[in-house]
Amino acid sequence: MARGGATLGLPTLLRQLIDDVRNVARAEIRLFKARAFDLMRRSKAAIMLLIAALLAVQGAVVALMVGLVLQLTPLVGAAWAGVIVMAALLLVAGILAWAALRQFSAPAAAPAEIAA
């Protein structure tokens, strides 16, 4: 317990311990920040790709709805075909929203349930 050949007293050792703990805490915080920024950087690309995929799906759904309207037009007329397709799509959207809201209000799973 000597630095430079001198014996250190308890107050000096405690100050060194406190300094070392502060340095370790600062290093851990820097490491956490670096990991968080790396995760954000990687997530940004993933989010952009996900948005592009969602836009492509939206285009496909629009094309499907137009096709359904065109198929129903000879049977019920253009206006009623649009109303029918819109009502069906709103029904699907309502069911999906209801399912999502149930997920938010469901109690959180215990850690043991997640691991199983």
What residue ranges do the domains of the chain occupy?
7-106
- The Cβ of residue 85 has, within 10 Å, a number of other Cβ atoms equal to 19
* Phi, psi for residue 77 in degrees, rounded to 5: 95, 160
Top-confidence residue, 6 or 8? 8
pLDDT(1) > 50:
no
- Mean predicted lDDT score pLDDT of the chain: 87
Q: CA 56, CA 22: separation in Å to the nearest integer?
A: 51
pLDDT at 45 over 90: no
The sign of the CA dihedral 68, 72, 74, 79 is negative
Tens digit of each residue's pLDDT (9 = 90 or more) over 67-96: 999 999 999 999 999 999 999 999 999 999
Cβ–Cβ < 8 Å for 44, 36: no
Query: Quick one: which of 36, 12, 14, 16 has its CA closest to 24?
Result: 16
Q: What are 95-105's pLDDT values in tens digits? A: 999 998 888 88
pTM metric for this prediction: 0.52
